[in-house]
Amino acid sequence: MSKPIIVTATLLLTGLLGTVTARADEVEQVFGFYCAQCHGTEGQGDGPNVTDDFPVDPRNFTKAEEMEKLSDADIKNVILQGGPVASKSPMMPPWGKTLSEAQVDALVKHLRKLCNCEGKEG
């Protein structure tokens, strides 16, 4: 293999991998735009849309004892399909047609950082 082909292949692979994973600053923007409206910028369930007459209390992602009960797959499923898929509030919309898989995976990791927990296997 000649060097130009190796360099081209490396650049192509790097470019493809860059689109598969979401950057840290991107996940902050995604969380801020799609999640923080209800869950709050710090994930404590106190977003600006939550008023006294809000019909549910959005999940507080900083409560490790609650987040530990959920697997990453559980969280991803709710992000993709909305609250009703997990017998939770229909106020939680499905984002599966809006967010990329990389963005959803990055959100799951972000939520794990907020709770400082790993969750159950599965």
Task: Identify the CATH number of the domain in which residue 66 sits.
Answer: 1.10.760.10
Give the pLDDT score at 103. 97
Residue 43, phi then psi, degrees to nearest 5: 75, 25
Residue 8 within a domain: no
What residues make up the domain containing 29? 22-115
Give the pLDDT score at 120. 86
Mean pLDDT across the stretch 38-59? Answer: 95
Q: Considering its fold, how many domains does the chain have in total?
A: 1
> What is the C-alpha separation between 13 and 7, in angstroms, rounded?
10
Phi-psi region of 116 (alpha: psi -120 to 50; beta: other; left: phi over 0): left
Give the pLDDT score at 111. 98
Helix, strand or coil, per DSSP, at residue 16: helix
User: pTM for this one?
Assistant: 0.80
Residue 122 within a domain: no
Query: Which of these ranges, 15-29, 37-51, 54-68, has the smallest mean pLDDT?
Result: 15-29
